[in-house]
Structure 1
Amino acid sequence: MFGDLSGMMDKLKQAQQKVEETKQRLNTVLIDENGADGKIKVTVTANREVKAISIDESLLNDAEELEDYLILTVNKALKRAGEINEQEMAIAAKSGMPNIPAMDMFK
């Protein structure tokens, strides 16, 4: 009914390995986001890890303004990272999946 079960298991292991490799690669993909007219720069990985934050001295005088700009900029960077992460992980997972009969019914 399902053909070669051993072959499908091997394909699933390959898919899992591909997903793990993609996760590792996404740690090296850096996303830069600028805010406050370029006075704040946030760098995150595609795995949504903050790597760097750079703040122009002119924003250090107003803590509330700095916090607002920082929140906006970090959220924009994390959103972009999430989009890239989801796309790459979906590609990695799909590329290694075995062709299981009747699974296309669930699309």
Structure 2
Amino acid sequence: MFDKLMQVQQQAEEIKKRLDSISVKGEAEGGKIVVTSNGNKHISAIHIDEEFYKSSDREELEELIAVAVNKAIIQAENVHQVEMQALSTNMLGGLGNLFNG
């Protein structure tokens, strides 16, 4: 039983590493603001088109950055859920074998 739990913990660590390497993006204003995140919801970059930056006001820019960040986080959450669902499926399958082996 302990071996199965250690195996699940190892799989969780592997998923965390994989999520660190997955890149997702959230965009606003037709790609003029792009926020990049990894699958663990860590924001790694924010890009603002220079011409858009020069022509927009502060309030508009702040609102659109928030929109892009939220979209990136939603994308990261979707990837995260898929990975965790795979782990749960593996874990439940493994726990079912605990009682048989």
Shared fold (TM-score greater than 0.5)?
yes
Cα shift at 1:69:
0.4
Off by >3 Å, runs of 4+ in structure 1: none
Q: 1:64 aligns with which of 59, 62, 65?
A: 59
What are the Cα deviations for residues 29-79 of structure 1, in whole angstroms up to 9, with x where unaligned? 000222111110111000000011100122344110000000001001101
Report how many residues are paired. Answer: 94
| Structure 1, unaligned runs of 5 or more | 1-7, 102-107
TM-score (norm 2): 0.84
Q: Give the Cα–Cα distance (whole angstroms) in 1 for the partners of residues 60 and 21 of structure 2.
A: 31
Q: Percent identity?
A: 37
Cα shift at 1:10:
0.9
Question: Is 1:36 paired with 2:9?
Answer: no
Cα shift at 1:93:
3.5
- Structure number with bigger Rg: 1
RMSD of aligned alpha carbons:
1.5
- Indicate the structure with greater helix content: 2
